[in-house]
């Protein structure tokens, strides 16, 4: 990495340290881990970051989110991550005619009861305006950010489940740690390819990047004996009943994802790792786009207290495709629930799928995709299944969405850390893009074999619940245990797409063809 980039990255953290010294609470609580944090972030930068333009000293990260049109008329909103204690920067827009327009950013503040976990960073936001003479570019904090959507979309990048797994369950036999310090390797546990994925996606120059959830994986302190893999990884605060910190989001997201975040607008859905008792505070501060839930949506009632469940409203985004086609992406928050059984969350979750069904009503020229984190029909490895149950994952999502999927041509999710396609007769194909960087539970591809019976069945084929008729078994399934991302490109004919699976270097390893509601992979 060039010295310029080391200086830029280090400058961010020196700036944070200076602001900590001005705040006794932050200094006492967070500065003890600052040295270790700087060490791991420097290692991350050396391993991952490609040469980048310098970001202004007051801005740690800047990116553009896709929003519901009710939030931003342009459907785009710029976010900037800044150190606590300074004001939000301005967005400077240059129009196609060379006119300069400035927009103030408003501050997003985490709940006070997140305490020291989110004492160092804040987020700012500003909607990109609709201007009569168009927009050439937009800059914030000295860096150009995505500022417009294309007239027609021709390339969409997709990935999910990206954070570096640091999971210490206190049982020495159940420690699960990924090597966060390496970007290449042979075994999936031996490296963390997120920044390589981000660089490759940036080189693709997509019109849009879809993120299917699970940014945050640094849920435990680095276990003793694993320091070479995750030493210095920002830990959660032991007395708090949630796992994330602002430093953790820097390490898991903003540093490794920097090239991707600047390459195209991001349409993101929330994953189960962004539940309020896990990484939810960072999600609502940095990535949530609804106006019904604030940046403080996951803050506990008191410092160190418990959090409560919540769910964001379903929403849609239209991407015009050539020849009169429109892709409607319908986003559903499926952060909560369980993998192998039907839970009491199903009635709440069903409301989100009912709303999504309304948003995806058929219309001339429209092709609708359901975007959510937990797949309706994803296959976990057989080793993960509960005795007596099949390895169909997110069973409660299959129950909550029962009878509500007929409007979709495709369902896109992640949650399982592989690339996968499953076709249940009579249902849209399920595509899983969970291979963005987080370590697979099981790396053996044969572990993802077709079960004996379809979703909502017990292991003996009987209904999991008398309330739901089991689905037929899959007529097609394909799994690849390989890190990477997907590039989706529309074909000339309506309802036909090519889904190219690429590894973290950008090399294609499979192509899936979507035609109507059929999908096969080669």
Buried b (16+ CB within 10 A) or exposed e, 99-123: eeeeeebeebebbebbbbbbbbbbb
The DSSP result for 483-513, as a single string, is --EEEEEE-SSTTEEEEEEE-TTS-EEEEEE
The DSSP result for 70-118, as a single string, is TT-TTSEEEEEEEETTSPPPEEEEE-TTS-EEEEE-EEE---GGGGGGG
Of the chain, the percentage scoring pLDDT greater than 70 comes to 89
Task: Locate 280 and state its tokens.
Answer: 């939810």
User: Which single residue is written with the structure tokens 């939000």?
Assistant: 88
Domain count, the chain: 1
- Which contacts qualify for 459-464: CB closer than 8 Å, 24 or more apart? 459/385, 459/387, 459/388, 459/389, 459/390, 460/388, 464/341, 464/342, 464/389, 464/395
Distance CA 382, CA 207 (A): 37
Do the domain assignments include residue 107?
no
DSSP state of 372: E
**Lowest-pLDDT range, 37-51, 304-318, 437-451?**
37-51
Contact by Cβ (8 Å): 504, 197: yes
Q: What was the pLDDT predicted at 169? A: 75
Q: How confident is the model at residue 36 (pLDDT cuts 50, 70, 90)?
A: very low
Do the domain assignments include residue 91?
no
**Lowest-pLDDT range, 22-31, 78-87, 245-254, 299-308?**
22-31
Distance CA 467, CA 490 (A): 38
- Kindly report, residue by residue over 180-221, the tens digit of the pLDDT: 999 999 889 899 999 999 999 999 999 999 999 999 999 999
Q: How confident is the model at residue 172 (pLDDT cuts 50, 70, 90)?
A: low
Do the domain assignments include residue 397?
yes
- Kindly report, residue by residue over 132-160, the tens digit of the pLDDT: 999 999 999 888 999 999 999 999 999 99
The domain that holds 466 is classified in CATH as 3.60.21.10
pLDDT at 3 over 50: no
pLDDT at 21 over 50: no
Distance CA 360, CA 101 (A): 36
Tell me the C-alpha to C-alpha distance, in Å, between residue 367 and each of 100, 285, 328, 385, 487: 37, 32, 6, 34, 17
Q: What was the pLDDT predicted at 462? A: 98
Do the domain assignments include residue 96?
no
Beta strand 366-372 with 410-413: parallel, antiparallel or unpaired? parallel
**Among candidates 153, 522, 515, which has minimal Cα distance to 319?**
153
- Kindly report, residue by residue over 418-442, the tens digit of the pLDDT: 999 999 999 999 999 999 999 999 9
Q: What was the pLDDT predicted at 189? A: 86
Task: Locate 113 and state its tokens.
Answer: 């009861």
Residues 6+ apart with CB under 8 A from 180: 40, 44, 164, 166, 192, 229, 230, 233, 251
Do the domain assignments include residue 137?
no
Domain residues for 355? Answer: 312-481
Q: How confident is the model at residue 168 (pLDDT cuts 50, 70, 90)?
A: confident
Q: Which helix (H) or strand (E) holds 286?
A: helix 280-286
Q: What was the pLDDT predicted at 170? A: 65
Distance CA 515, CA 496 (A): 4
Q: What are phi and psi of 25, to 5 degrees?
A: -60, -45
pLDDT at 96 over 70: yes
Do the domain assignments include residue 387?
yes
Do the domain assignments include residue 511?
no
Do the domain assignments include residue 430?
yes
Q: What was the pLDDT predicted at 57? A: 58
């Amino acid at each position: 990495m060039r010295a310029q980039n080391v200086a830029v990255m280090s400058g961010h953290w020196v700036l944070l340290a200076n602001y900590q010294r001005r705040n006794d609470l932050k200094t006492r609580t967070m500065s003890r881990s600052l040295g270790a944090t700087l060490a791991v972030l420097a290692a991350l930068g050396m391993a991952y970051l490609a040469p980048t333009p310098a970001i202004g000293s007051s801005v740690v990260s800047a990116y553009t989110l896709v929003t519901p049109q009710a939030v931003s008329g342009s459907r785009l909103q710029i976010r900037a991550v800044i150190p606590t204690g300074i004001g939000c920067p301005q967005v400077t827009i240059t129009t196609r005619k060379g006119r300069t327009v400035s927009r103030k950013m408003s501050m997003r503040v985490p709940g006070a009861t997140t305490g020291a976990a989110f004492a160092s960073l804040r987020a700012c936001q500003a909607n990109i305006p609709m201007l009569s003479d168009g927009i050439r570019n937009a800059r914030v904090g000295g860096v150009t950010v995505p500022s417009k959507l294309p007239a027609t979309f021709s390339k969409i990048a997709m990935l999910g489940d990206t954070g570096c797994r640091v999971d210490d369950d206190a049982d020495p036999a159940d420690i699960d740690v990924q090597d966060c310090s390496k970007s290449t390797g042979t075994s999936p546990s031996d490296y963390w390819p997120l920044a390589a994925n981000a660089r490759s996606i940036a080189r693709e120059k997509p019109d849009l990047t879809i993120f299917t959830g699970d940014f945050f994986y640094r849920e435990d302190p680095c276990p003793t004996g694993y320091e070479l893999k995750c030493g210095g990884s920002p830990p959660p605060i032991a007395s708090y009943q949630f796992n994330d910190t602002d430093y953790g989001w820097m390490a898991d997201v903003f540093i490794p994802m920097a090239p991707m975040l600047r390459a195209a607008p991001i349409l993101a859905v929330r994953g189960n790792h962004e539940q309020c008792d896990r990484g939810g505070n960072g999600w609502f501060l940095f990535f949530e786009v609804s106006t019904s839930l604030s940046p403080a949506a996951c803050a506990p009632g008191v410092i160190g207290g418990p959090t409560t469940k919540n769910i964001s409203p379903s929403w849609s985004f239209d991407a015009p495709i050539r020849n009169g086609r429109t892709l409607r992406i319908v986003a559903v928050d499926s952060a909560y629930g369980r993998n192998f059984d039907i839970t009491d969350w199903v009635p709440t979750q069903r409301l989100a799928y009912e709303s999504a069904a309304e948003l995806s009503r058929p219309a001339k020229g429209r092709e609708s995709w359901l975007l959510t984190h937990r797949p309706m029909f994803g296959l976990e490895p057989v080793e993960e299944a509960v005795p007596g149950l099949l390895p169909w994952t997110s069973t409660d999502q299959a129950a909550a969405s029962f009878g509500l999927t007929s409007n979709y041509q495709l369902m896109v999710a992640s949650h399982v850390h592989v690339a996968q396609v499953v076709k249940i007769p009579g249902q849209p194909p399920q595509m899983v893009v969970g291979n963005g960087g987080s370590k697979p539970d099981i790396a053996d591809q044969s572990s993802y074999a077709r079960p004996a019976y379809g979703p909502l069945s017990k292991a003996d084929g009987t209904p999991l619940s008398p309330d739901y008729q089991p689905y037929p078994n899959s007529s097609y399934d394909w799994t690849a245990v390989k890190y990477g991302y997907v590039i989706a490109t529309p074909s000339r004919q309506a309802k036909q797409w090519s889904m190219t699976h690429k590894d973290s270097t950008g090399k294609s390893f499979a192509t899936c063809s979507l035609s109507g509601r059929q999908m096969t992979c080669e």
